[in-house]
Structure 1
Amino acid sequence: MLTYNTQLKHLKLPEYGRNIHQMVEHCLTIEDRDERTRCAHSIINCMSKLFPKLREEENYQQKLWDHLAIMSDFRLDIDYPTEVVKAENLNTVPQKIPYTSEHIRYRHYGKDVERLIAKAVSMEPGEERSELVLLIANHMKKQLLAANSDGVDDIKIFKDLAEYSHGQIQLSPETTVLHEFKIVAPPSGKKKKKR
């Protein structure tokens, strides 16, 4: 009867293949520590020949010895030339990233627009503040157009800007004209046929 790979023992590092894993299993059965260490060095030599590109890396020997320890389930008792990874350090979970749960009034504008409006409100009235307010309003229109492709009314932008600034920034449709933005469809990715 045939023996299939699916019926054999699961490989810890399948990229090295079943033969290397069998060598490691044989190395575990050797009782003399010096002989076992020599066997491990010959396995490392075979592993490095399997992946010659690995030799170009700075600490490739460390990686190979770590892989040997992993393949042996950390049971291989030899004199390692380098410090190998510990079993408990192998499956460490990264620390959770703390996310701020700041309230965003209108998500389609984002938190940065709120910060920009707060900066504009804190500035002294003048040409620089007027330019910043106009840039913010145009950016808000662009953001709203990305969320609502049907079209955007400038009056809606002016109203939202006044609401964000608690009435301190007032723009009028008679005196302020925002840019006209068009939604451009992304390229289809298909090449044109040659005639």
Structure 2
Amino acid sequence: MEEYTMNALSYNTERAQLHIQEYGRNVQNMINYAKKIESREERNLAARAIIDVMGQLNPHLRDVEDYTHKLWTHMYIMSNFEIDVDSPYEIPEPESLSERPKIMNYPRNKSKYGHFGFYAEKMIEEASENEDVEEQEYLTELLANLLKKNYLTFHTQNVENSAITSHLKELSGGKLKLTDISLLKPTNTILKQVGVAPKKPIKKHKQKKRRK
């Protein structure tokens, strides 16, 4: 009895590695057994029964599009692509599952002044083409404040209004000119809007003269 028990016991370290651990050792053993069934009809019945068990063990896969297809793919992976059954889906190639995803090309938009941002400069370009004088004046004020806001978001320090209007004129090719700089919001107001505390000026302490 003792000899039988020792032979029957097996440790995980001695067992074959699971291909997909989520399904557990029992499902892996069922697939290993199904591979050896000589009758194709019985092997197909066993495969469908295994698919049902796999679906019950992983109900979250029901939320995945075409989850049944996913289960069949998992069964092939767990069988090391050695199970010969009539699948309702095309049998996947092992190489296709190991391919690395293609690298996506991200747009690399360059802006002349990084602190203003590409889209702000794009808006300036489009606004400069607006032929409606009244609307262009409105857009000029709006974009000038946007430039100042974007600048302070990155630098969190004061910037001369004349510098903002100068950049706006430059980026628009001289078409957008804000003559009244009082239309620009105060620096402290913008910093509060973007959630940045304005920097306090450093006080210079006067050195006391030593008595001789």
TM-score, normalising length: structure 2: 0.72
Compute the RMSD of aligned alpha carbons.
2.8
Name the structure 2 match of 1:85.
92
**1:184 alignment partner in structure 2:** 195
Matched residues in 2 for 1:167 and 1:117: separation? 11
CA gap 1:14/1:111 in 2 versus in 1, 3 angstroms: same
Which residues of structure 1 form unaligned runs of 5+?
186-195
In structure 2, the partner of 1:190 is none
Q: Judge conservation of contact 2:161–2:181 (CA < 8 Å) in 1.
A: no
Q: How does 1:88-107 map to 2 (within 5 A)?
A: 88-107=95-114
Residue among 48, 53, 60 paired with 1:46: 53
Report the Cα distance in structure 1 between the residues aligned to 2:38 and 2:131, rounded to whole angstroms: 83
The answer to whether the Cα contact below 8 Å between 2:162 and 2:181 also exists between their aligned partners in 1 is: no
The one-letter amino acid of 2:145's match is: N
How far 1:77 sits from its partner (Å)?
0.7
Partner of 1:161: 168
3-state SS of the aligned residue for 2:183? coil
Distance 1:136 1:62, change over 3 A: same
Aligned residues: 184
Query: Structure 2: which 5+ residue stretches go unaligned?
Result: 1-5, 197-212
Q: 1:19 aligned to 2:29?
A: no
- Partner amino acid for 1:178? L
Task: Please give the alpha-carbon distance, in whole angstroms, between the structure 1 residues aligned to 2:129 and 2:63.
Answer: 56
Displacement, 1:42? 2.4
2:37 is equivalent to residue 30 of structure 1: yes
Once the 2 structures are TM-superposed, how far is the Cα of residue 138 of structure 1 from its aligned partner? 0.9
* 2:141–2:178 contact (8 Å) kept in structure 1: no
User: Percent sequence identity over matched residues?
Assistant: 37
Write the deviation string for residues 119-166 of structure 1: whole angstroms up to 9, x where unpaired.
222223621100011111111111111101123332221121122123
The 1-side partners of 2:171 and 2:76 are apart by 60
